[in-house]
Each structure stands twice: as C-alpha cells, then as structure tokens.
Amino acid sequence: MLLQNVRWTDLKDIAGRLFVVPLGSVEQHGHHLPLFTDSYIVSEVARRVEAALSEEIVLLPTQWLGHSPHHRHFGSVSLDFFPYVQMISGICRSLVGMGARKILLLNGHGGNDIPCKAAQRELKSEFADLKDLYIVYATYWNLAAVPFNEIRESVEGGMGHACEMETSIMLAAHPELVDMSKAKTDGPGAHMGYRPTDMLHPLPFTLISEFNEISESGVIGMPELATAEKGERLLRAAEGAVIQMIKEMQGWSFQTN
C-alpha cells in the first residue's frame, strides 16, 4: 500500500502495518551516472518490496533530500546534520501519531547513516513509554551483503560510490541515464596511503574526507564491470533481503519479562 493514496479516514485501519520510509539523496555520481542515483535505486528496491507485500506494509514516498556535504565540491543538494536529524525525527513522530508502531527507515545513501542513528537515539528517549515501538534503520546493501558479495566481480575497493553495484542497478532500472563511455575506476587505495574503501568491507577506523580529496571523478570503485544482467540480480537480492528484514520485524513483540 502506498501512503500517498490513503485517505485520512482509513489511517486507523492500517496503523498495525509496518511502515517503510525510503531515504535517498541528490548528489554527484561520477561522470556516468545522474545526481538522483541513490534515490532512483532505493525507490526501485522499495517499489519491488511493496509489490510483493502490498497487503502487509505501507510505503512512503522516497525522501530524496539527504545529508551529502562531502559531495559539495562536485555537486549535491544537502541538508545539514542537525536539520536532517530533525527531519527524520519528524517523519517518524508523524507516523507514530498515525498509530504506527513498526517503522523501517530503508536507506540508500551512506551519508544518511550517522544522522539517522542519532534520530533513532532521540526518538527512543522521546517515546520511552511506547514499549511496542520499533524504529529500525537499515541500508539495503548491508542487508544484502552476502548475496552482493557473491554477485560482484570487483576486488575490495570496487564497490563504493557510482561503482560496479550502483552502475549495474542503474543499467537495469534506468539504462537511458547511464553513459558507460565515461565510467572509469577511481577512489582511495594504497597509492594514496589509504586502505581501499568498499561499502561491503567497512574499514576498522573512521576518517572524514571530502569526496574531491579521495576521488578525481567522484567515483569510488570499478563501474566498468557493471552490466544490466548483474544489476537485475543485485535488485532481486536487495528485494529479498529487505523482505526478510520486514518479516523479522513483523514477528517482534514487546515482552514484559
């Protein structure tokens, strides 16, 4: 079910469903992908999940405004940290007011990670008395890390940003927006004195960098390895992983002892 099509008089009838909030961004994705890539991808994953679970979940429109200050040198539309925390808190607070007790923040942009977790902490304190309230934050590629690693062809460092994975999914979902003639490997590695950055192999330390400090083109990874066939496999894997997360959440219930 799509929330935008629901009448307010029917909200009480869907309050017991799980609410899914896709989170994207508008930011540079190298020379070969459009600014809306993260939002396109998470929207496609969410669309497939809703089609499979239309009688069980309520899907919100994708929140395209993300936290992307690290992309500003190349180009991004970004909300600052604390306003983004407040926005996520406001969305969740509104859903709780509608009666929602299970909310999945389905993320598609790495920069949203820290502010979303901060919002979770604030909301947990605010709604401490609602013991049956579960607000989960999950990024689709982390949920699908096992099958993604099986599908990928790139070595560590090949999947980071505008990479093999994102380019493949865009070739499957929006091929008209991809220019493979401009796709090329880029990003931090041993040549810069850094370890390779890879979304499926997180580093054991945190280093805050602007994107122009670690990539000439805005890419981190190996987009040349992308194919539409691989993109469809990745989308199916992401869909399955998100559905598995939802099924798990549906079984959660607060126990007093």
Per-residue pLDDT 10s for the chain (257 aa) are 999 999 999 999 999 999 999 999 999 999 999 999 999 999 999 999 999 999 999 999 999 999 999 999 999 999 999 999 999 999 999 999 999 999 999 999 999 999 999 999 999 999 999 999 999 999 999 999 999 999 999 999 999 999 999 999 999 999 999 999 999 999 987 677 777 889 999 888 888 999 999 999 999 999 999 999 999 999 999 999 999 999 999 999 876 54
B/e letters for 41-71, b = 16+ CB within 10 Å, e = fewer, are bbbbbbbbbbeebeebbbbbebbbbbbbbbb
Q: Provide the number of structural domains found in the chain.
A: 1
User: How many Cα atoms sit within 13 Å of 140 on the Cβ side?
Assistant: 31
What is the domain range of residue 185? 3-250
* Tokens linked to 38: 């993260």
Is 197 part of any domain? yes
For residue 102, the surrounding DSSP H or E stretch is strand 102-107
Model-level pTM? 0.96
Q: Does residue 20 form part of some domain?
A: yes
- Look at residue 256 and tell me if it is in a domain: no
Q: Which of 256, 195, 210, 238 lies closest to 49, judged by CA?
A: 238
Answer yes or no: is 216 within a domain. Answer: yes
Residue 257 lies in a domain: no
**How many residues appear in the chain?**
257
Alpha helices in 138-219 (DSSP H): 140-143, 145-151, 164-173, 211-214
Q: CA 94, CA 189: separation in Å to the nearest integer?
A: 43
255 belongs to a structural domain: no
Domain with residue 177: its CATH number is 3.40.50.10310
Helices assigned H by DSSP within the chain: 11-14, 37-52, 81-98, 113-126, 140-143, 145-151, 164-173, 211-214, 228-250
